[in-house]
Structure 1
Amino acid sequence: MTEIQQLSGDRPVAIVGAGLVGAGWAIVYARAGLAVKMFDANPQTTAKAIPLIEGQLAGLRRHGLVHEDPATILARITPVATLAEAVDGACYVQESVLERVDVKRQLMTDLDALAAPDLIVGSSTSGIPGSAFALGLGISPRVLIAHPVNPPYLVPVVELVPSAQTSAATVAFADALMRAVGQTVVHVRKEVEGFVLNRLQAVLLREAWALVQEGVASSEDIDKTVRDGLGWRWSFMGPFETIDLNAPGGVADYAARLGPLYQRIAESRTHEQPWDDELIRQVEAQRREHLAHAELETRRAWRDERLMEFAARRAPARTE
């Protein structure tokens, strides 16, 4: 029996919410050899997910990122008509429903009534702590956040965030499952809105919007700065390793040399104002100069192809 079979007990995984994130998770689990049952309250969403998954599997095979026939992987994914059917016999649920507390709370209540006593639930929420929707239920010790980057079958990081009621056994199971299906696990040890990834992204985005608003640089030049500058290093190492290597004496030396500059930059911003409508219109207009709205879907497909090329080169060297 393989590691993944031992973890799952040869039971299926349930995907609840079959949008882009849920469909991406279905690929992750089916690619790893697990049977997947996929449910969405809107049957049309599930119907759209199947051809999307089929196309992405073909791309993964083309880039050498899967070695099985895509049809074999796709056959492991079974759309089902009800939540009860999805969770019946499942070892794990990947929740990827609408990013709203009330919707997630209702689903947790429904799962509490349906779930087997050992069913684990991971929520794909991008920033809502589990304590906002998953407390006070019988299932609460078996619920945690398992937040991916989209698409999770190409970008492997997943943040595991327990609530105050999540058991240590649940975290251990989710950690083992994510590693077994090829994800890179980040343990977020305290509940905080946005977790780690989106809090880091939020700081960069807030400064990017402010620089456009102040006329310092266009949105395209800011994209160039990240794409052809910061992103080159960040594609294979993180910010602390980056600065550790950027001063002769390492990270402490870097902090002594450049810490005051970064402090002055931080003090120059309050970031209390929202992204206002005029600023959003300005950035929207700048983006449409470089990419027509009608070309967004084509550009997303281009992005996924580039990610596949990158993943194919990166995979052998990936470490944790």
Structure 2
Amino acid sequence: MSDAIACIGSGLIGRAWAIVFARAGHDVRLWDENADAPDAARAFAAEMLPELEKLGLIDCSASDALARITPVTTLEEALDGAIHVQESTFERLDVKREVFARLDAIAAPDTVIASSSSALLPSAISEGLEGRHRCMVNHPINPAYLVPAAELVPAPWTDQGLLDRTATMLRAAGMRPIVMQREVDGFVMNRLQGALLHEAFRLVEAGYASAEDVDIGLREGLALRWSFIGPFETIDLNAPGGVRDYVDRYAGIYTDMAAQLGVDWSGEVLDRIETERRAALPEDALATRQAWRDRRLMALAAHKARAAKDIGD
């Protein structure tokens, strides 16, 4: 069928993608080198989909979504008529390159081939392939059927039209793609997480705070806001005049830390960030958005309290 998607690799990542695509109405073919893995992935979907239906997290019935997931025994079956291939095999470059070469030889010319790789650059995976223009990374934040962010990373030769098409397809499937302009080691999420983890380890290693205290700082502090607004919107809402006002007021606090990290908060980068923020939220709407943020924080706090009572800490 024209809307079919092939999930190549049926482990933790592949089975999550199968749920994402099936609940969005795509026919999903599951394939894996391990012949037992596709059936196990479908069994996992059969267990999870009713829970998602119960929580209102799918727009169809669990049985309808499950009926769209089909284990297959050959790559040819998986790729027949597929508009998109989501590769989720072992995270090793030689494995990815071999699999991509096989996929490129079989898939139709306009079929996108995307890897779920969390660290390998798409250029390294697809270099030398005849169809390298349709190759990219589509890295989910596990589990993809619960966490909508996914990193779309082009190689230098990836066709922009196919990248845009994939982003549109993901949005229609309920995902929130991060469409990168070019590749970089670690993509976006691992670089952000890595910077945070580096400082978390440093604070503990130097005896400034315990691991639990650092976790409290995120769990009961920054993460409450970050669960629905990002760091740029956070600081944009934390000063009366927005992001530039915040930098003018508070950047000095971070001067020593920024120097250690080689970061300059001023100049061109601030101009770019402020331009993006003002396009997303005019300055005269900051107070309204701040009130919205506070209502969201109240709702999130109430949810956490109910969850702690019903489920436990």
TM-score band, normalised by shorter chain: 0.7 to 0.9
Task: Confirm or deny that 1:140 pairs with 2:132.
Answer: yes
Cα shift at 1:46: 2.5
* 1:220-299 aligned within 5 A: 220-268=212-260
Q: Does the 8 A contact of 1:13 with 1:92 survive in 2?
A: yes
Shift of 1:268: 4.6
What residue is the counterpart of 2:164 in the other structure? 172
- Residue deviations 1:150-206 (CA, integer Å, cap 9, x gap): 111111112211111111221121122111111112211121011111111111111
For 2:103 and 2:19, the matched residues in 1 are separated by 23
Identify the range of structure 1 (184-193 vs 212-221) with the bigger mean alpha-carbon deviation.
Answer: 212-221
Q: What do the CA deviations read for 1:92-133 (whole angstroms, capped 9, x no partner)?
A: 101111111111100111112211122111111112211111
Q: Does 1:55 align with 2:52?
A: no
Tell me the equivalent position of 1:17. 9
Alignment of 1:1-320 (within 5 A): 10-268=2-260
Structure-2 separation of matches of 1:263 and 1:103: 44
Q: Which portions of structure 1, spanning 4 or more consecutive aligned residues, are displaced by more than 4 angstroms?
A: none
SS at structure 2 position matched to 1:37: strand
1:150 is aligned with what amino acid? N
Supply the distance in 1 between the matched residues of 2:217 and 2:36 (Cα, whole angstroms): 40
Q: Quick one: distance in 2 between partners of 1:126 and 1:262?
A: 30
Identity rate of aligned residues, in percent? Answer: 46
Measure, in 1, the Cα distance between the counterparts of 2:108 and 2:59: 34
Aligned counterparts of 2:16 and 2:162: Cα–Cα separation in 1? 22
Contact 1:135/1:165 (8 A) holds in 2: no
2:126 aligned counterpart, secondary structure: coil
Contact 1:144-1:170 within 8 A present in 2 as well: no
TM-score by length of 2: 0.80
> What amino acid is aligned across from residue 135 of structure 2 in structure 1?
V
Check conservation: 2:114, 2:137, Cα contact below 8 A. yes
State the one-letter code of the partner of 2:161: A
The C-alpha deviation readout for 1:236-272, integer Å capped at 9, x for no partner, is 11100100111222111211222222231244569xx
Task: Give the letter aligned to residue 95 of structure 1.
Answer: E
Once the two structures are superposed, residues 15-60 of structure 1 have per-residue CA deviations (whole angstroms, 9 ceiling, x without a partner) of 0111111111100110011100011111233233222212211210
SS of match in other structure, 1:146: strand
Q: In 1, distance between residues paired with 2:9 and 2:255?
A: 43
- Asked if structure 1 preserves the Cα contact closer than 8 Å seen for 2:149 and 2:178, the reply is yes
Q: Do the aligned residues in 2 keep the contact of 1:147 with 1:159 (CA within 8 Å)?
A: yes
Take 2:10 and 2:202, find their aligned partners in 1: how far apart are those partners?
A: 35
**Contact persistence 2:2–2:81 (CA under 8 A):** no
Q: What SS does structure 1 have at the residue aligned with 2:216?
A: helix
Which string of whole-angstrom CA distances, capped at 9 and with x for unpartnered residues, describes residues 63-104 of structure 1?
111243312211110011122221122111011111111111
The answer (yes or no) to whether the contact 2:2–2:82 under 8 Å persists in 1 is no
Measured in 1, the distance between the counterparts of 2:240 and 2:14 equals 45
Distance 1:183 1:67, change over 3 A: closer
Structure with greater contact order relative to length (CA < 8 Å, sep ≥ 6) = 1
Q: 1:207 to 1:61 in 2, by over 3 A?
A: same
Residue 296 of structure 2 corresponds to: none
- Secondary structure (helix, strand or coil) at the match of 2:150 reads strand
Residues 31 and 75 of structure 2 are in contact (CA less than 8 Å); yes or no, is this contact kept in structure 1?
A: yes
Q: Give unmatched runs, 5+ long, in structure 2.
A: 263-299, 305-313
Letter in 1 for 2:74: T
CA RMSD of aligned residues (A): 1.9
Distance in 2 (CA, whole Å) between partners of 1:37 and 1:202 is 34
- Supply the AA of the counterpart residue of 1:216: Y
Question: Aligned partners of 2:31 and 2:260: how far apart in 1?
Answer: 48
